[in-house]
Structure 1
């Protein structure tokens, strides 16, 4: 994997105030600041530039998910001031203002970026979009082929830098299609160097012969992803406390639904979890230690033992 260098600058010298993030040799800049520091952003040069912005807040209905609004404007501070006075942006807590250091972003460029960002956030399912009307692929600002290529590269750099500074919304779902079907695809929503395919990752399983539960998952970076088609117990144990609310949320969103024939629940899509224990608890409908309940599909070792073996193997490598 090729290394990347990201430069973080703290103008105030504080890690909790406004800061900027850039990638070496990239023309873009991301300025990140709390809503309360909008007045400080006002005095910065990029505040007067065109750009795309992301307004981020907490989702009270889903604590593990952000609420976001994505927009574009020819003068960032003017549009942000407008939103600051709007009652429908009460969720807004943090701001990501995206601009260009060489001031070459036109209205057509930022409209294209806005449409693509909304499209990718919608596809990833990692954040709840507050935009009233989603911009479809057919509504992107028309651009010459060369400009589209430039904006896709710009977007690819955003997909790399934004997760580092705290926004996961552009991060794509893990790819579960066979690698061979992708050809040479290297679009921002699937860079195989950054986001490997699921068939390249270790697989873990939970099986309960007495109930028929069978679930398969892969681990990708900081996520433990239960794959579509996995099944889960429907009836919960009375003592179940951990992650019970998360299971209810997944059911309400239609990601986990009743199986027509087995009396179990089935995952309708790949679902990322923050830990193996969260995934195991949702599947088994009770408190569960994921490090012991998940088993590596090839070796039969428990998740915890498998990870420990990897550590020891790495330590022994020359």
Structure 2
């Protein structure tokens, strides 16, 4: 059975150090990698106003690489995952880039994003590649 995949990386700013949008053939999901300094440039992206899961990558004061994993639903003001990530800009400058997962058709509901947040958090704990910045493990959606 053929397990090959075709994915597209769109360099939104024309450079690999800028914003990157990733799509996978036959998948409604979208992945974005956005440096902290470029987050404000994404406010008009409608797909980032949807529900999603996000990762904030950076280093702590001990120079250890770390990640914060979170989720965001659509809020009453019509904002979603990007708005939630922008709220983290008020925090200390621990993260240098964000990765956000959402969908092309806004198909993530509360159960899906809770499940994904829990799954990704447990995967981060198991692999022990990054120090997990989350103070508690999210509950598994039922």
TM-score of the superposed pair, with normalisation by structure 1: 0.41
Q: Does 1:99 align with 2:98?
A: no
More helix by share: 1
For 1:146-161, what aligned pairs fall within 5 Å after superposition?
A: none
Report which stretch shifted further, 106-115 or 9-18: 9-18
**Which one of the candidate residues 79, 82, 92 is aligned to 2:84?**
79
Distance 1:101 1:58, change over 3 A: same
Gaps in structure 2 of 5+ consecutive residues: 74-79
Encode CA deviations 1:105-140: one digit per residue, 9 max, x unaligned: 1011101100110011101111110000123xxx31
Encode CA deviations 1:7-31: one digit per residue, 9 max, x unaligned: 1011222221111112111111111
State how far apart, in whole Å, the 1-side matches of 2:3 and 2:112 are.
28
For 1:259-274, what aligned pairs fall within 5 Å after superposition?
A: none
State how far apart, in whole Å, the 2-side matches of 1:55 and 1:140 are.
20
State how far apart, in whole Å, the 2-side matches of 1:106 and 1:30 are.
17
SS in 1 for 2:95: coil
Q: Does 1:41 align with 2:46?
A: no
Q: Which has the larger radius of gyration?
A: 1
State how far apart, in whole Å, the 2-side matches of 1:58 and 1:23 are.
29
Encode CA deviations 1:149-196: one digit per residue, 9 max, x unaligned: xxxxxxxxxxxxxxxxxxxxxxxxxxxxxxxxxxxxxxxxxxxxxxxx
Please say if residues 18 and 41 of structure 1, whose CA atoms lie closer than 8 Å, have aligned partners that are also in contact.
no
For 1:50-89, what aligned pairs fall within 5 Å after superposition?
A: 50-59=51-60, 61=62, 66-74=65-73, 75-87=80-92
Q: Which has the higher contact order (CA 8 A, sep 6+)?
A: 2
State how far apart, in whole Å, the 2-side matches of 1:96 and 1:41 are.
13
TM-score of the superposed pair, with normalisation by structure 2: 0.87
Which residue is 2:21 aligned to?
A: 20
Which residue is 1:160 aligned to?
A: none
State how far apart, in whole Å, the 1-side matches of 2:104 and 2:131 are.
30
SS in 2 for 1:93: strand
* Alignment size in residue pairs: 135
State how far apart, in whole Å, the 2-side matches of 1:82 and 1:62 are.
23
State how far apart, in whole Å, the 2-side matches of 1:127 and 1:7 are.
26
